[in-house]
Amino acid sequence: MRSPIKFYLVLAGLLMVACNNNPSKMENKETSQLLIKQEINAPQAKIIAQELENHGDVRVDNYYWMKLTDDQKNAENADAQTQDVLDYLNAENAYKEEMMSHTKELQQSLYDEIVGRIKQTDMSVPYKRNGYHYISRYEEGKEYPIHSRKKGSLDAEEEIMLDVNELAKDYSYYAVGGRSVSTNNKILAYGEDTLSRRIYKIKFKNLETGDLLEDEIENTTGRVIWANDNKTVFYTRKDAALRAYKIFKHKLGTPASSDVEVFHEKDETFGTFVYKTKSQKYVVIGSYATLSSDYRYVDADNPDEAFKVFQPRERNLEYDISHFDDKWFIRTNKDGAKNFKLMSCPEGETLKENWTDEIKHRDDVLLEGIDIFKNFLVLSERIQGITQLRVMPWEGEEHYIKFNDQAYLTYTTTNLEFDTDILRLGYTSMTTPNSTYDYNMKSREMNLLKQQEVVGKFDSSDYVSERFMANSRDGVKVPISLVYKKGLKKDGNNPCLLYGYGSYGNSMDPYFSSVRLSLLDRGFVFAIAHIRGGQEMGRQWYEDGKFFNKKNTFTDFIDCGEFLIKENYTSKDHLYAMGGSAGGLLMGAVINMRPDLWNGVVAAVPFVDVVTTMLDESIPLTTGEYDEWGNPNEKDYYEYMKSYSPYDNVINQEYPSMLVTTGYHDSQVQYWEPAKWVAKLRELKSNKKPLLLHCDMETGHGGASGRFKRYKETAMEYAFLLDLEGITK
């Protein structure tokens, strides 16, 4: 998935800046130096016309030469084409540095205040599993977490499982994924990625001796699932296009070359994964596509037996399964349940004709997930765009957990035990830092375990959050969540950053960000457009923003911008837009359609060369996303996709100031998409407003690893926006 680039939920504090009662009227406003520097010569990529013909239609791509294969990119001696690409990317980075050189002090100040809000010495809320309390903690000044556990009690001696700071010290990028402890608590399996392409090597550590086992498994998704014998694990491999496509079984102490393939997902539009049920009774293999899913399972006590199919795959049948006692619970869209319903079946009778309704389908409620306990069933529902947690005793009166904010995000977290009355949940709003609670489902008492600490003089009452329903051009009401600092005057002169995504059914929820305070305290309004293509308003909201309805995503975002102007939160001279990945596609589309509406745009790792990418099955994610965008090998999809593809629709017109970011090792949106897009914009745009490309030569889709370093790029993005507003401090 070309996943959303969210603003991080991190610990934060309040920057004190010189301002009047209206924080948007800054004392230090000046003329944008970026606009003054417009005359600096920008890099001009060489033009090599490449004709691309499909369905009798010819597209001419002058920058197709930037596209490289992995073999070329990883070769020890780069060929001429590779060197040309590197030269171009380095030239763009140098130009960006020159154009933004006057913001160096501001960038450092922003970085310092963002990092200054983070509690240096911090610890996660411990969770209990199989007799141990598991903890992740940070030490002052260190980038990476330390993962540890305590046996029996939180007062017990700490056992360090992984100090990621030590593991990462020899790498410019390092990420740990998929930590998993054997059922006898003796062996830790984990994945490591040192390139930022989400390809993990699995390693095993003896937690009693501290030694690494000789077992190593390459080219995986990073996680293993333990059978109950403590020696058999299941894991997922990736193919050349980085699709998760095979499940293997590995026995500790044997070479990975002898691992047994237990499942091969041959359909290239599907991916596969493996997990263990909360009951610990079954290991389950799942296969998924946008419009279909299926599962197979094996007894975790007998991992060498053959997996049994739960319900054979059917087009447009989606379901997921949870095991409890002698039953399976199935969340599914069976029988036209667009918003999903809950069904169940006996343990040994899993075919769909044996499924019976537990929670019927509702047109106005999206069933997003379930948590099962010995005495309770908890439903995660989305009603009118807001998440709700519904507690249903197996016997007794049900209820919804109440919260006070107008717009918020709540979610269940780590709930590994069946026999408990305690539900662990998370809660946040645009003015409330992320909070972890234990909720007693019987007494209905809420116990705050931890709230994200904001280092500094932060007071949530200094900020205002609002929620509106904007009219789209076709009469649909589109939610907008926004936040700003108290004292803001709605006179149309406030800078406003509008964020959006709108793909894959991913809902962009109203959550807190300490990073965002650096904008709010300088007078910005921050708004989230909950546009179609997400799933905020139910499954239909998603359906209405994909395939041949994709343009609704773009027009919704534009209409949300117009709404904010109409309501005097901002104006065209002060309205900014931001989105990443598929949200970068959104940015590319809206600047082609309404370039006059935005004073500046930040497009992060943008998916902009839609047609060419979706025609190339060797690129990660392509085949698995035909049910999201359509298959351009079919003429109708090709023509519709071409009609909005940002790269294909760049024309000779004025464009807003833009900052585009990418990572050279990005596996989700390859670097050449934003690089080509910037080159074509430079070739065709009719004005000289700043157009900057930042290519991080060491990272991939998610940016830098570590809890501090990633904010260097955030500080650069914020400095870009602030400079366009003439805010220099």
Catalytic-labelled residue, pool 259, 701, 705, 723: 701
Taking alpha carbons only, the member of 251, 246, 217 closest to residue 233 is 251
Annotated catalytic residue, options 3, 465, 503, 581: 581
* Residue 243, pLDDT score: 87
CB count, 10 Å around CB of 259? 18
Active site residue 472: no
In whole angstroms, what is the distance from residue 350 CA to residue 355 CA?
Answer: 7
pLDDT exceeds 60 at position 6: no
Tokens representing residue 468 in the block: 């509106």
d(CA 523, CA 141): 30
Q: Poorest-confidence range of 168-172, 277-281, 424-428, 451-455?
A: 168-172
Ranges of beta strands (E only) in 41-157 are 50-54, 57-61, 122-123, 127-129, 132-138, 146-151
Q: What is the mean pLDDT of residues 207-236?
A: 95
Check residue 22 and give its pLDDT: 40
State the average pLDDT over residues 313-329. 96
Q: Which of 72-76, 155-159, 362-366 is least confident?
A: 72-76
- CB count within 10 Å of CB 594 equals 19
Please give the Cα distance from 482 to 431 (Å, whole number): 10
Q: What is the C-alpha separation between 607 and 726, in angstroms, rounded?
A: 30
Q: Is 358 helix (H, G, I), strand (E, B) or coil?
A: strand
Q: What would the 3-class secondary structure string for 499-547 be?
A: ECCCCCCCCCCCCCCCCCHHHHCCCCEEEEECCECECCCCHHHHHCCCH
> pLDDT at residue 183 above 60?
yes
Q: Whole-angstrom Cα distance, residue 541 to residue 545?
A: 7
Inter-residue contact 536 to 385 (CB < 8 Å) = yes
Residue type, 354: N
Res. 70 pLDDT band, cuts 50 70 90: low
pLDDT band at residue 31 under the 50/70/90 scheme = confident
Lowest mean pLDDT among 74-88, 187-201, 383-397: 74-88
**Helices (DSSP H) in 250-392: which residue ranges?**
none
CA torsion, points 585, 590, 595, 596, in degrees to nearest 10?
-150
Element (H, E) at 692: strand 691-696
Mean pLDDT of 633-662: 97
Our answer to whether residue 581 is catalytic in this structure is yes
The tokens describing 503, both together, are 């793909």
Domain 33-116+464-724, what fold? Answer: Rossmann fold (3.40.50)
Min mean pLDDT across 157-171, 260-274, 579-593, 689-703 is at 689-703
Confidence of residue 346 (pLDDT cuts 50, 70, 90): very high
Checking if the pLDDT of 151 tops 70, the result is yes
d(CA 279, CA 101): 57
> What single DSSP character describes residue 16?
P
Distance of CA 627 to CAs 290, 335, 403, 505, 588, Å?
Answer: 6, 20, 36, 12, 21
Give the pTM: 0.86
Predicted confidence (pLDDT) per residue in 354-391, tens digit:
999 999 999 999 999 999 999 999 999 999 899 999 99
Q: Out of 135-149, 485-499, 557-571, which region has the weakest mean confidence (pLDDT)? A: 135-149
If you average pLDDT over every residue of the chain, what do you get?
A: 91
Mean pLDDT for 603-614 is 94
Cβ–Cβ < 8 Å for 290, 273: no
Residue 246 in this model has a pLDDT that exceeds 70:
yes
pLDDT at 704: 54
Write down the catalytic residue from 61, 215, 521, 666: 666
| Dist CA 294 CA 305 (whole Å) | 19
Query: With 80 as the cut, is the pLDDT of residue 678 above it?
Result: yes
SS (H, E, C) 547-608: HHHCHHHHHHHHHHHHHHHHCCCCCHHHEEEEEECHHHHHHHHHHHHCHHHCCEEEEECCCC
pLDDT at 707: 64
Does residue 288 surpass a pLDDT of 80?
yes
447-471 mean pLDDT: 95
Q: What share of the chain is helix, strand, coil (3-state, %, to 5)?
A: 25, 35, 45
The C-alpha torsion from 411 through 413 and 416 to 422, rounded to 10°, is -70
**Contact assessment for residue 597 and residue 572, using Cβ atoms and an 8 Å cutoff:** yes
CA distance 243 to 221: 9
Residue of 718 and 241 predicted with greater confidence: 718
pLDDT at 10: 29
Residue 338 has pLDDT above 90, yes or no: yes
SS (H, E, C) 212-243: EEEEEEEEEEEEEEECCCCCEEEEEEECCCCC
Contacts 24+ apart (CB under 8 A), 589-593: 589/551, 589/553, 589/554, 589/644, 589/646, 589/649, 590/554, 590/557, 590/558, 591/646, 591/655, 591/656, 591/658, 592/646, 592/649, 592/650, 592/651, 593/554, 593/555, 593/558
pLDDT tens profile 473-498 = 999 999 999 999 999 999 999 999 99
- What is residue 701's predicted lDDT score, i.e. its pLDDT? 53
Which has the minimum average pLDDT: 265-279, 438-452, 591-605, 615-629?
A: 615-629
Q: Which residue, among 494, 426, 431, 428, has the nearest Cα to 458 in the 3D structure? A: 431
Residue 415 contacts by C-beta under 8 Å, 6 or more apart in sequence?
371, 373, 423, 424
Residue 396 CB contacts under 8 Å (≥ 6 apart), including other chains: none
Residue 560 has pLDDT above 70, yes or no: yes
Look at the chain and count its residues: 729
666 in catalytic set: yes
Whole-number Å distance between alpha carbons of 147 and 134: 8
φ, ψ at 518 (rounded to 5°): -65, -25
CA distance readout (Å), 535 to 46, 338, 463: 42, 12, 27
Q: Using CB atoms within 10 A of its CB, is residue 317 exposed (0-12), middle (13-18) or buried (19+)? A: middle
